[in-house]
Amino acid sequence: MPKQRHEIRSSFISFSCRHRRQWHIAFVVLLLSSGLFTGGVGAEERAQPIKIGVLTESWGPTPNTVGLRDGLLELGYRENEQFVLGVRFTQGDLTALPAAARELVQYGVDIIVTSEDSPAKAAQMATTRIPIVFSVLGDPVGLGLIQSFARPGGNITGVTGLYLELSPKRLEVFHEIVPDLKRVLFLYDAADAAAVAEAKVYRDAAHRLGMVLVEKPVRTEAEAQATLAQTSKGEVDGILVPNRISLNIPGFILEMSSQRAIPTMCEVSFFVERGALASYGPELHEMGRQAARLVDKIVKGAKPAEIPVEVSPKVEFVINLKVAQALGLTIAPEVLYRADRIIR
């Protein structure tokens, strides 16, 4: 991720379940200096900033959130004058999302932006009035968030990365990088419906490719850690890292895989930049920029029910060559040639 994207984190209004009072103070200070947003006129006519509440299960602002902010700036919005961002993150705790969503409603945000399936469902349960814009969702129709891509209905629209559709290709690319791949571990949160659906897709894809998917559904962080501690390199040849960060599963996998020299394949490049071997999936920053355009339409008076859901057009294939070398892997030149980005 470019340096400037890291630096803007300090300008976000960030808070977790353990720091609610601190967030409240920070949000009020900003709003006292610039006023509360009311009315439905265009952004250029507003005298007060739009309050955008970002709901995520992560540990802080995500690449989607950075892309959202960058996209709004590119559209001509001035931060702290025409919009403010409040990021509500629950540190991998899915059970905290409903309360977090209700708090955003209570604080009077004008638009809620979510990442991943669980935050979007929590926002949907919290309000039928405030516009919701999601990003990084696999199946918004199947989740009951929208009626159709063309006419979402209700107060929700957004951007999807079609993760389920890309999962078979992701496993195929993993096999191309690691030709000896036979048994692949997929550790996931059993309470996450999207992860359960993804496990089925991976299972079918593995069968077609002549591989075995070693499925490990878990329900707590302790169970996730214990499962990985009992997994040896001889038991599996590689690990599929879920994009969803509930129970801190990606973090545990990256730590364990580096210690035991097990190849890892991710859905997004965020984890490749932090020690995974490779990724194949949507580019999260770009999805955030797409979400900004939908926010702009809502600000200008469009109803979420009538704004078609967009599909992210950019699929990114990233390889961490340093990790490959540390694993003793020699990646075929034709595979390296197809990579959109190589981390050396």
Among the ranges given (26-40, 121-135, 261-275, 324-338), the one the predictor scored with the smallest mean pLDDT: 26-40
Give the SS3 label for residue 314: coil
Q: Name beta bridge partners: 54.
A: 87, 113
Helices (H), the chain: 3-7, 20-34, 63-74, 97-106, 117-126, 163-177, 193-208, 221-229, 249-260, 269-272, 284-299, 321-327, 333-338
- pLDDT tens, position by position, 269-327: 989 999 999 999 999 999 999 999 999 999 999 999 999 999 988 899 999 999 999 99
Share of the chain above pLDDT 90, in %: 70
Provide the pLDDT for residue 117: 86
d(CA 64, CA 10): 16
Spatial neighbors of 258 by CB under 8 A, at least 6 apart, are: 275
User: What is the pLDDT confidence band of residue 75, given thresholds at 50, 70 and 90?
Assistant: very high
Q: What is the mean pLDDT of the chain?
A: 85
Predicted local confidence at residue 74, as pLDDT: 98
Predicted pLDDT at 233: 82
Which residue type occupies 174? F
Starting at the earlier edge strand, list the strands of the sheet with 315-320.
212-218, 183-189, 238-241, 264-266, 278-282, 315-320, 341-343
Judge contact between 165 and 328, C-beta under 8 A.
no
